[in-house]
Structure formats: C-alpha cells, structure tokens
Amino acid sequence: MNDGILIGLETAFAGYNIFMVVVGCFAGTIIGMLPGLGPMSAIALMIPITYGFDPASAMILMAGVYYGAIFGGSTSSILINAPGVAGTVSSSFDGYPMAQRGEAGKALAIAAYASFSGGTIAAIFLLVAAPQLAKVSLSFHSADYFALMCVGLLSIAAFASKGQFLKAMIMTCFGLALATVGQDSLSDITRFAFGNINLMDGISFVLLVMATFAMSEAFMIIFKKTDINFKASDVSKKKLGSIKLSKAEIKEMVPVIGRTSILGFLVGVLPGAGATIASFLAWGFERGIASAKDKLKFGKGSIKGLTAPETANNAACTGSFVPLLTLGIPGSGTTAVMLGALLSFGIQPGPRLYVDQPELFWAVIVSMYIGNVVLLVLNLPLIPYIARILAVPKNILVPLVLFFSVTGVYLISFNNFDIYFMAIVALISLVLRTMNFPMPPLILGFILGGMLEENLRRALLINDGSFSFMIDRPISLGLFIVMILIVLMQVYQIIKNRQTNSRDELT
Amino acid sequence: MSINYSRITAFIFLLFFVLYSYFASEIVVFDFDEDADFNARTFPLLISYLGIGVSFLTFVLSKNDGQTMGQYEWLGVIVLFVLVFTYGIIIKSIGFFLSTNLFLMAAYYHLGARSYKVLLLCSLPVVAGMQFMLHQLLGVYIRDPFLYSLGIIS
C-alpha cells in the first residue's frame, strides 16, 4: 500500500498532472456556475479532450472538473439564487439571503472554506476506506457483482427520481436496452443494428452523455425560456463586500464542518445517493440539532445553514469515488460518466484497479487534496472575475455549448451520422426531462448494461442456469434483501402519495 | 382513466419494449447456443420483460399532473435542432472551419444577436482557436477543403 501511495504521489505531483487539476478546477467552476449546466455536462464536455491523455491525467482532470463544478454551482446559488448544480440548491437557502444583505463575499468565503474542509476530510476517509473496501471486494463473485449492480441501478432510480420511481425505472430499462445495441461481447452476434453499419459497434457512450446532458441542457435553456442574464457589475469587488471571516464565525463553522463532512461522505458512498441528497440532509440535520434561537436564522442567512450543505456536497463528491474505484460501481450519475470514460480508456475499475494500476488509483485520491487546495487558492480571490461568466447572454452561450457538444462527438468518429443521432437523442431527452423522466438512471443503465450482462451470464453458467445464486451466497443474499427493501420503500411511497392525493381531492 | 402526457409517454415506452421484446426474440444465435442457459437473446429478453412491466405500471398509475406543453419555446428548439442537423450535413463537404462558423452565426442570429461585431467576434476567433488547438496542440487532424483551398492547411 505504501508503494502505491508513493507512486500515486509521484503521479499526482507531476507538473503535467498539477496543471490538469488546475485546468479541471477552473473549467469546472466556470461550467458549474452556468445555470443548467451541472457536473455531468461539464465532465461530458471534457471527455473528448482527454482522449489523447493517459488515463491517470484524464481522471485527475475530470475529478477536478467535478468538484470545480460543485463549487461553481455554489457561486451562482449564492449570487443570483440560480443553482448551476442540483447539489447546491440548499446552499442558496442561506447563501442568497446573505448576498442580499450585502455579505456576498463572506458567503462565498464560507462556501469556499466549507467546500475545502469537506473535500479534504472526505479525501482522508477515502484514503482509509478505499483500500479496505477494495480488499473485501476481491472476494466478490459474479453473482455478487450482479446483485451489487442491481442495487446500484435500483437505488439511483429511487434517489434520482424525486418521487417518480416508475419513470426512473423506465429510464433504467431504456438505458439497459440501448446498451444491448451492437455486438454481443461473447458471441460477437450483432443485435438491434437493423443492418445499419453505424450501429454495429453500439451506441457511443460520449454521444449519449453529450446528447442527454450538455446538448439537451442547452436546448432546455431556450425551451423553458430560462433567464440566465446577469449584469457583470453585480459581481464587482465592491458589491461582493469583504471575504474576511471573524473568529466567532469560524468557531461557528468548525463543528458543523466536522459533523457534515462525515454525513456527506457516508451519503456519497451509498450507490445512487450523491451531493444533492447529502446537501439537503446536512442542511436539515443542522437545522434539526440547532438551538431554538439558531433555528430561526436558518433560511435567512445562517452561517451554519450555508456551511452544512457546502461541506456535505463536497464530501459526498469524494465519497462517491469509493464505490467507483473499489467496486467499479458508480455512486452517482457523475461518477457513472467517469466510469464510462474509464471504460473507454480500456480500464476496468474495481478491486483489481487497486492492485493492477496503483498509480491511477492513488493519483486520483491524492489529486483530490491538490484540487481542494487549488479551488481555495484559485477561486476565492478570482471569484469577482470568474463570476462575470454569468453575464454571458444565453444567445451566445447556447450555440457555444451546442458547438462544443457536436465537435466533441464528431472528433471521436468523424462520422456525420453521430451528429444526426445526437441531435435526435437530445430532442427526445429534452421532452422526457420536461415530463420528469430523469436522465441519470438512463446513463447508469447504459454504462452498467454490458457488465451486468457479463456477470449474469457467468453467474448463470456457474449455477447451471438457475437463479438460485441470488440466495446461495451471503453477499448476494444481503444485496438481494436490500433490493427488496428499496422496492418495498418505493411501493409504500407510491401508495402513500396516492392516498394523500385522493384525500386532497376529497377535501 | 384520464389522458395525460406521462401516460402517453408510458404508452410509447410500452410499445417500445413490446417491439424490443419481439426483436430480442428474433436475434439469431448459433445452433449450439440455441438451448444454452444464457445466449445473446437472454439479457435483452429479461430487460424487455422488466421494461414492459414498469411502463405498464406507469401507464396505469400515472396521475394528471396538469402539465401543458404549449408554454414552452418549441419553435426556438426545433430551429436549433435543424441547425445542428444541417451542420452535420455540411461539416464534411465544406469543412470544419466554414461549417462551424456558419452554424454559430446562424444560431446566434436565431437567438436574437443582430450586431455584426457579435456575430463575427463570437464565432471566427472561437473556431480558429479550436482548430489551432486541435491541429497544433492535440495533433487531431480535421479534413478541411476550404482551408486547404486557401493554402492555410496542407
């Protein structure tokens, strides 16, 4: 393990990779700040650029973009009450009121310190937890992996659906169905290509991510007539106010950071749950344990109320790397995109990654520390300048996002068909998103589809075609019980909602 | 049972998964694989059963959420979609540089930008910068008949 850490340190501190962290954090902050464009879009836009890189540098860049985007999202939440990222919605509850009373600089500083602390503490947890989990997962069989992936798919459908579990499940099935297009990995039989040569290799993962996130987000800005225009003068240094925090304010933040970084990390580790759930839970948790006097301040510019979600969302980002790096199962939609990127590099994340490619495993973890420092050093003094990106009018921003999306996909294949296909997928996903059909389950289904089929095939062949493997092994059985619990919880939720609605209709 | 957009979408998905199930059962596998415990058909069939199940449940259980589609800017998005499609058609024939500039300028114009300065400054330097980065820094060559005819690229 020590050798691995040393190799990771060497890789992460290579000048080129430090440059990648800086670029990633900077680009992520800018993209994350733009309302509508979240970390998934930001990472999707980066994938084509990383194709010439070695996998470690690419992952370092994408990890930087991830927490940069979360930080950028906080900035637009605080300054204009328009969260760029779902994970920073709860930051606007207290951040925006602070900005309104002329303490925008202070709110941004609190967000920066909380994000830094949350990310750094979680990176320490990751350093300890990831190798342990990787060791445990070495004993996993195909049946266990199959069960684990099913848990991942079910839980992302449960968490990402915002009460629309069935719709999320449709999207999961749709993603799994799209993953079956092209050649079957074992028999080489072509499926669902209908004689179209462009579909014989399957649907490109980058195309799907770009179309469902970056391109459909750009369409959405026009579709919903979102007003994202913002005056550059609103983020001038004078208007932001001081970024200095008093000793009393820091004292108020410290215990909140301690509690919510643990909470955020644990939520991040859970498959399906991510920064959004972590930040809401942390805000609610801190409000719940606050004194009656402090409770009244929540939602009106409370320091605790801003510190909690900011710490938790960054800790959750780091936590979501645990299942990705150790089990090869993404903990969130964003890490699902990263998993797809890793697979396209020919790297299979999972327990073997820790043994076979320690430089990648450890470099990503070490780069998180560097990334957190970079975010603090780079963003705090530069916020008044970076935030001017919010002043870019949508009639300039939307075509540019479309251009980067199309170019990103075209540069991989140089195939016009991909552009047509991408435009159609983007239009379909725009309509589906308008009707509350979530996209992360589709992406996770698409990415895990191939692995799910592989593991199911192996498990069935070992068990002579019997599905008894689900209950034969303790790990599979445990995961199978978790699956049933998730489904039962959702069924209960659906019944409860229907009862409430019919009661409302009667009254 | 009232008709709403969620129900219509669920019905479309139901049809999709029924068709998917049909095509899955039509996948031609090797003779020796026909009766195997797992072949190229098995997984798609399992997905189709699950898909049919959940889309049917969504179809039955969907409530009228009062959603209307008329409030959205359909025309603006459809024009952008056509522009992206056209960009895909012309990118190979007239080359990356010219097609991208035309696409960007048309999109800016469509979304309300009228100043020539904005149209030119937000497209020409962006595309030139991108092409320079691709050619000179990342070593990605994009065939460009227009720039080739001008002698800018070889």
A359-402 confidence digits (pLDDT tens): 787 888 788 788 888 888 877 777 777 777 777 788 888 999 89
Distances (CA, A) of B42 to A184, A331, B36, B150: 11, 27, 10, 56
Distances (CA, A) of A238 to A98, A104, A242, A328, B142: 15, 10, 8, 47, 46
Distance between CA atoms of residues A63 and A55, nearest Å: 12
In this complex, is the C-beta atom of A53 within 8 Å of any C-beta atom belonging to chain B?
A: no
Distance between CA atoms of residues A138 and A148, nearest Å: 14
Name every chain B residue with its beta carbon within 8 A of the beta carbon of A173: 17, 47, 50-51, 54-55
Q: Where are the domains of chain B?
A: 5-61, 74-149
Tokens 């689900």 correspond to: A470
Q: Which of A52, A420, A423 sits opposite B139 (nearest CB)?
A: A52
The pLDDT of A32-58, averaged and rounded, is 78
Distance between CA atoms of residues A66 and A371, nearest Å: 10
Tokens 């509690």 correspond to: A259
Name every chain B residue with its beta carbon within 8 A of the beta carbon of A186: 40
What's the per-residue H, E or C state across A385-445?
HHHHHHHCCHHHHHHHHHHHHHHHHHHHHCCHHHHHHHHHHHHHHHHHHHCCCCCHHHHHH
Q: Report the relative pairing of strands A190-191 and A182-183 from DSSP bridges.
A: antiparallel
Q: Which of B83, B150, B130, B38 is nearest to A186 (CA)?
A: B38
pLDDT at B13: 96
DSSP state of A190: E
In this complex, is the C-beta atom of B40 within 8 Å of any C-beta atom belonging to chain A?
A: yes
Residues in chain B: 154
List Cβ neighbours of A292 (8 Å cut-off, separation of 6 or more): none
Name every chain B residue with its beta carbon within 8 A of the beta carbon of A423: 81, 84-85, 88
In this complex, is the C-beta atom of B67 within 8 Å of any C-beta atom belonging to chain A?
A: yes
Distance between CA atoms of residues A458 and A183, nearest Å: 18
In this complex, is the C-beta atom of B20 within 8 Å of any C-beta atom belonging to chain A?
A: yes
Give the residue on A whose Cα is nearest the Cα of B52: A170
Do B107 and A223 lie within an 8 Å CB cutoff?
no
| Token reading at A443 | 């992406």
Q: Which of A177, A189, A398 sits opposite B29 (nearest CB)?
A: A189
Do A187 and B40 lie within an 8 Å CB cutoff?
yes
Distances (CA, A) of A4 to A131, A184, B147: 10, 36, 49
Q: Which of B64, B39, B48 is nearest to B13 (CA)?
A: B48
Which three-class secondary structure state does DSSP give residue B7? helix
Mutate which of B47, B126, B130 to test chain A, going by most A C-beta atoms within 10 A? B47
pLDDT at A171: 94
Minimum distance, in Å, between the CA of residue B150 and any CA atom of chain A: 22
Place A84 in a pLDDT band, splitting at 50, 70 and 90.
low
Place B139 in a pLDDT band, splitting at 50, 70 and 90.
confident
pLDDT at A239: 67
In this complex, is the C-beta atom of A275 within 8 Å of any C-beta atom belonging to chain B?
A: no
Do A410 and B9 lie within an 8 Å CB cutoff?
no
Give the CA radius of gyration of chain A. Answer: 22
Q: Chain B neighbours among A 324-383 (CB < 8 Å)?
A: none
Mutate which of A154, A169, A173 to test chain B, going by most B C-beta atoms within 10 A? A173
Minimum distance, in Å, between the CA of residue A171 and any CA atom of chain B: 9
Do B100 and A419 lie within an 8 Å CB cutoff?
no
A457-493 pLDDT, tens per residue? 999 988 888 888 888 888 889 989 989 998 898 888 8
Name every chain B residue with its beta carbon within 8 A of the beta carbon of A191: 24, 27, 40, 44
Pair B62, B3: CB distance under 8 Å: no
pLDDT at A53: 81
Do A437 and B9 lie within an 8 Å CB cutoff?
yes
Tell me the one-letter amino acid at A219.
F
List Cβ neighbours of A417 (8 Å cut-off, separation of 6 or more): A198
Distance between CA atoms of residues A177 and A170, nearest Å: 10
pLDDT at B1: 63
Give the residue on B whose Cα is nearest the Cα of A450: B43
Do B91 and A457 lie within an 8 Å CB cutoff?
no
Minimum distance, in Å, between the CA of residue A417 and any CA atom of chain B: 8
Give the residue on B whose Cα is nearest the Cα of A194: B23
Do A411 and B51 lie within an 8 Å CB cutoff?
no
pLDDT at A229 > cutoff 60: no
Residue B115 pairs in a beta bridge with none
Distance between CA atoms of residues A77 and B142, nearest Å: 39
Please, what is the average pLDDT of chain A?
Answer: 83
Distance between CA atoms of residues A324 and A330, nearest Å: 5
Do B37 and A501 lie within an 8 Å CB cutoff?
no
A269-284 pLDDT, tens per residue? 876 667 778 888 888 8
DSSP state of B107: H
Q: E strands along A82-174, which residues?
A: none
- pLDDT higher for A176 or A462? A176
pLDDT at B57 > cutoff 90: yes
In this complex, is the C-beta atom of B79 within 8 Å of any C-beta atom belonging to chain A?
A: no
List Cβ neighbours of A240 (8 Å cut-off, separation of 6 or more): A104, A105, A108, A383, A384
| Token reading at A253 | 């933040």
A412-469 pLDDT, tens per residue? 788 899 999 999 999 999 999 888 898 888 988 998 898 899 999 999 988 888 888 8
Q: Where are the domains of chain A?
A: 2-499
In this complex, is the C-beta atom of A188 within 8 Å of any C-beta atom belonging to chain B?
A: no
Distance between CA atoms of residues A337 and A339, nearest Å: 5
Minimum distance, in Å, between the CA of residue A356 and any CA atom of chain B: 28
